[in-house]
């Protein structure tokens, strides 16, 4: 199995019909779910599924479905539309994750994008933080050129 970073193909079509609203104060609710290396996620992913989602090896830092992420209202960086998210942390965590799926919890769990971590990342009784890059044309996780 493999996790490959990609903006999901279904998301690209859904943008054109107005399915997703990333507006910070009144938009949809987006979540981030973490997955093991056994997951098969990539451009063809269409929705959140719990298959091969991580589980806590101790404690209760992670719940099925992941955690809500806070969107920053999309903006233009030159000619590229970009969206940023606030960093997210799981505290008192004990688990191993290989990648994540960002999905729209307000729209039937429709997939937005997949992020591969480049290998297993393990935390043991600590804080697992995902730091999103700046909302710039060359670095934003979600960008439309």
Give 65-91 as a DSSP string.
T-EEEPEEEEEEETTEEEEEE--EEEE
CA–CA separation, 19 vs 95, rounded Å? 33
* pLDDT of amino acid 1: 73
Centre a 10 Å sphere on the Cβ of residue 65 and count the other Cβ atoms it contains: 15
Output the pTM of the full model: 0.95
Q: Kindly report which listed range (62-66, 69-73, 85-89) carries the lowest average pLDDT score.
A: 69-73
Q: How far apart are CA 117 and CA 119, in angstroms?
A: 5
pLDDT of residue 39: 98
The string of pLDDT tens digits covering residues 96-111 is 999 999 999 999 999 9
User: What span, in angstroms and rounded, lies between the C-alpha atoms of 103 and 110?
Assistant: 6
pLDDT band with cut points at 50, 70 and 90 for residue 134: confident
**pLDDT tens profile 1-40:** 799 999 999 999 999 999 999 998 889 999 999 999 999 9
Q: What is the pLDDT of residue 145?
A: 87
Sheet holding 142-144, edge to edge: 71-77, 80-85, 142-144
Rounded to an integer, the average pLDDT of 106-121 is 98
**pLDDT number for residue 17:** 96
pLDDT at 41 over 80: yes
Among 24, 43, 21, CA closest to 107: 21
């Amino acid at each position: 199995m493999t996790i490959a970073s990609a903006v999901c193909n279904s998301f690209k079509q859904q943008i054109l019909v107005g399915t997703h609203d990333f507006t910070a104060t009144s938009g949809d609710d987006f979540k981030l779910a973490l997955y093991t290396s056994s997951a098969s996620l990539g451009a063809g992913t269409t929705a959140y599924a719990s298959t091969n989602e991580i589980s806590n090896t101790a404690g209760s830092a992670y719940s099925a479905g992941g955690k809500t992420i806070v969107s920053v209202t999309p903006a233009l960086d030159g000619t590229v539309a970009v969206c940023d998210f606030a960093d997210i942390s799981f505290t008192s965590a004990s688990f191993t994750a290989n990648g994540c799926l960002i999905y729209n919890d307000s729209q039937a769990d429709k997939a937005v994008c997949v992020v591969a971590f480049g290998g297993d990342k393990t935390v043991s009784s600590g804080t697992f933080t995902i730091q999103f890059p700046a909302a710039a044309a060359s670095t934003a996780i979600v960008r439309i050129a």
